[in-house]
Structure 1
Amino acid sequence: MTSERDTAPPGPPPATTQERLVASARELLWERGYVGTSPKAILQHAGVGQGSMYHHFTGKSDLALTAIRRTAEEMRAAAEEIFSGPGTACDRVAAYLLREREVLRGCPIGRMTQDRDVVRDPVLRQPLDDMFGWLRRRLADVLAEGRASGELAAALDPEATAASIAAVVQGGYVLARAAEDTAPFDAAVRGLLALLAAQATTTTAPAPPHPAR
């Protein structure tokens, strides 16, 4: 579990100046956060002229908002592919938890919540609220399907369980980064899968995790 489809797969550089600016902002925001990413750094990373940002965007916050939204959209699409895919509810939750991640880089959206300037700005914070709210709802939907089908125990609370899953994943990123080791994240995922398996009422339960290293 050491790389994740949080961003688009490697490919040719963006064709337009605007797209190069957005791609560079996404990369630097993930690496340095909002406060640590200067307009100059974005321009240098994108390899564009000084006036390019203000030709396409009103300023750093406008570009950052576009970059954050783009990252959230791609994360959402990648997760939805799993949640809407084949398999039981447990299979799909397990697939989400076990998908490849760049654990030591952290979550690119979760990274933004560590910036006070982002959290205090309702406009910049909105994509974060939307992404995490959507994730909890979709996880709850999948878990509710499993409960309705009899796969999961009737006593299981889909909303509370979904919130726990989201919280443990984000906390796992933090613990892994603090330790400079993916082991805490992997242990958190194993624990979640064990708890989910304990709620299964059929023989269909999450497969034992085998994190890829």
Structure 2
Amino acid sequence: MDTRERLIEATRDLLWDRGYVGTSPRDILARAGVGQGSMYHHFTGKADLAAAALQRNADQMRASGEAVFDAETGVYDRLVAYLTRPRQALKGCRIGRMSEDPDIVADPVLRRPLDETLGWYRERLAELLAEGQASGELRAGFVPRQVAAAVVAVVQGGYVLAKAAQSTEPYDDAVAGAVALLATLREDAR
């Protein structure tokens, strides 16, 4: 891994663990194992490096989401696969967690990957739900955009509940509840 990549990866991890304010340039340099000149050779400063790290998180999240959404299975199975894929519930989402950081939310450049990624998930899930309605796999009569927003809220809110309880149980319960609700959309279509 070259220096630029080590800096981005170190920043990704530190942002996830500590947030933006809790991540100092010194911490980034130490984690990456590079000198100060290296950081400023590749980035204009902490914000520029954080923007690159957040964009990397966003790109990776979308790629992993597409792998699930594009699978050659039924719509319901893809929705369940999205909800039940392995996650580190106690650490939270690499993107969603950043919405708790006031410095990231206040900066349009740093906030952009959050807005775009969470918006992309809502849109992509809405498309998938509409596909299920069109194929008859899911019942008619619900608004795909609203159900998609609820699914994203279950995942992101599940992280918050798990962290608050210091247990994955609330996250697992939220996901199981969402899967059960989605099952009713499928059962009603039969």
TM-score, scaled relative to structure 2: 0.97
Q: Secondary structure of 1:140's match?
A: helix
Structure 2 residues not aligned, in runs of 5+: none
Query: What are the within-5 Å matches in structure 2 for residues 13-52 of structure 1?
Result: 15-52=1-38
The residue that corresponds to 2:178 in the other structure is 192
Moved over 2 A (4+): none
Percent identity of the aligned residues?
58
Query: Does 2:138 correspond to 1:156?
Result: no
CA deviations on 1:124-167 (whole Å, 9 max, x unpaired) are 10110000010000000000000011111110210000000001
Structure 1 residues not aligned, in runs of 5+: 1-14, 204-213
The residue that corresponds to 1:115 in the other structure is 101
Q: Secondary structure of 2:36's match?
A: coil
The residue that corresponds to 1:75 in the other structure is 61
The residue that corresponds to 2:89 in the other structure is 103
Distance 1:195 1:20 in 2: 42
Distance 2:16 2:31 in 1: 14
- Match for 2:60: what amino acid? E
Q: Secondary structure of 1:30's match?
A: helix
Q: Secondary structure of 1:155's match?
A: coil
- Match for 1:149: what amino acid? S
Measure how far apart 1:30 and its partner are: 0.4
Query: Does 2:72 correspond to 1:86?
Result: yes
Query: What are the within-5 Å matches in structure 2 for residues 121-160 of structure 1?
Result: 121-160=107-146
| Count of residues paired in the alignment | 189
Which structure has more RCO (C-alpha within 8 Å, separation ≥ 6)? 1
Q: Secondary structure of 2:87's match?
A: coil
> Kindly tell me: are residues 155 and 202 of structure 1, through their superposed partners in 2, closer, same or farther at Cα, counting changes over 3 Å?
closer
Distance 2:7 2:151 in 1: 34
- Match for 2:22: what amino acid? G
TM-score, scaled relative to structure 1: 0.87
Measure how far apart 1:168 and its partner are: 1.1
- Match for 1:174: what amino acid? V
The residue that corresponds to 2:161 in the other structure is 175
Distance 1:143 1:81 in 2: 16
